[in-house]
Structure 1
Amino acid sequence: MGTQEITRTLCLVKPDGVRRGLVGRILTRFEDAGLKIVAMKMLVPDEERARRHYRYEDIAVRHGEAVWNRLVQFLCSGPVVAFVLEGVDVVPVVRKLCGSTEPASAPPGTIRGDFAHHTYEYTNSAQGSVRNLIHASATDEEAAYEISVWFREEELVSGYKRSDEAEHYLS
């Protein structure tokens, strides 16, 4: 069970999602769930930012340096849309909406289940990076770190209310 507090998480629509014109449809999924966008920008990440995002000690140790390098290169291959979402216990909510990181395993109704299809096996055989459209932080701690990689504190907008917020949050 989560914290049941209003928290924040980072999401990236990766280059494959931007190229396919899915940014609006992806953002709509989160807003339809009652989540609030508190920061957003489009940019082509430089290698230094991508390396900070995909921390070597995490990815390379678990999956190997080749996988880490492919992830970094793919993230730098085109524009991404970085955004911060806010909501009640937001990290698991966002990950559920995204679906499994392996698109072929993601159920219909999730972002990856509806819009992507690659498998890890295909990606590994093609020496590429899985095209799964979106990144979402896995934990509250990871979210705090990743938000700091992509946004300065003054870029985070706080204090505004969505018109439907009373329906989703207790005052």
Structure 2
Amino acid sequence: MTTLLHYSGGERDLKSYPRLFCFYPYKGCRISRCSVYFLFYILTTKYSSMNHKQERVVIIIKPDGVKRGLTGEILRRLEQRGLKIVALRLFQPTRQQMDDHYPKDEKWIARLGEKTLNTYEKYGYDAQNELGTTEKLEIGKMVRGWLIDYMTSIPLVKAIIEGSHAVDAMRKLAGNTMPALAEMGTIRGDFSVDSAAIANREKRAVHNIIHVSETPEEAAHEIEHWFAPEEIFEYKRSDEE
């Protein structure tokens, strides 16, 4: 009788694993008696690395983060999490660079405007009176302009962070993009209480400390946009050796 080992990636015949890790005969082997040894084998071989996804993600520490001297604290937190810095630089972005950084797709811009309109409605503000329009696309263009103004106001810190599931890990560390909604223990939750409502009334971008790529695909685009190949380094952390 063939005994199968069930694990997150599917099923495997026990006979496909080295006998070294089984202290009982295969014939009539009971999975409950062998599972500990085979689990150890799985965790220390390629089967455990099927979902071990090494990624890179771009972070940009925004003006409020730089001005408040939070760069060191942010880098400390991500390194403490087990992520690795493979590129790091203080730089002054141009308006053209920031314009190319943010999507120019009208659907994306309209969604930005819709979020702003929803915020005005939620807090009882009159968008027509304060912005001169209720058109999503027009408002989105305004907000995009506020972002570019904000991100070019002073030098920023840009970095490429590498690690297992780096995009998700870094976004969890950063917290909700609206600091007022971010949980304590996250970067935004600990260091900012800004909100869309306040920012919209003051006609500026939300001060949320840090930009983090949303997806691996976006990260790849941002790496190409913000970094030259010679600025990116390969090395092993002590826990990788």
Shift of 1:32: 0.4
Shift of 1:62: 1.9
Instruction: Give identity over the alignment, percent.
Output: 44
Aligned counterparts of 1:54 and 1:115: Cα–Cα separation in 2: 24
Residue identity matched to 1:108? M
1:49-76 per-residue CA deviation (whole Å, 9 max, x = no partner) reads 1111112216423211001100111000
1:146 pairs, out of 208, 213, 222, with 222
Larger Rg: 2
Aligned counterparts of 2:79 and 2:170: Cα–Cα separation in 1: 11
Question: 1:11 aligns to what?
Answer: 59
1:117-138 per-residue CA deviation (whole Å, 9 max, x = no partner) reads 1011111111010000000000
Listed as ranges, the matches of 1:12-51 within 5 Å are 12-51=60-99
1:25-70 per-residue CA deviation (whole Å, 9 max, x = no partner) reads 0110100001000001101110011111112216423211001100
- Stretches of structure 1 lacking an aligned partner (at least 5 in a row): 167-171
Q: SS in structure 2 opposite 1:164?
A: helix
Shift of 1:153: 1.9
Question: 1:56 aligns to what?
Answer: 104
Q: How many residues align?
A: 163
RMSD: 1.2
Listed as ranges, the matches of 1:21-170 within 5 Å are 21-57=69-105, 59-63=108-112, 64-158=140-234, 160-165=235-240
Aligned counterparts of 2:96 and 2:225: Cα–Cα separation in 1: 10
* TM-score, structure 1 normalization: 0.92
Higher RCO (CA 8 Å, separation ≥ 6 residues): 1
Are the counterparts in 2 of residues 34 and 165 from structure 1 also a CA contact under 8 Å?
no
Runs of 4 or more off by more than 6 Å in structure 1?
Answer: none
1:79-119 per-residue CA deviation (whole Å, 9 max, x = no partner) reads 10000000001101100000000000000000000001101
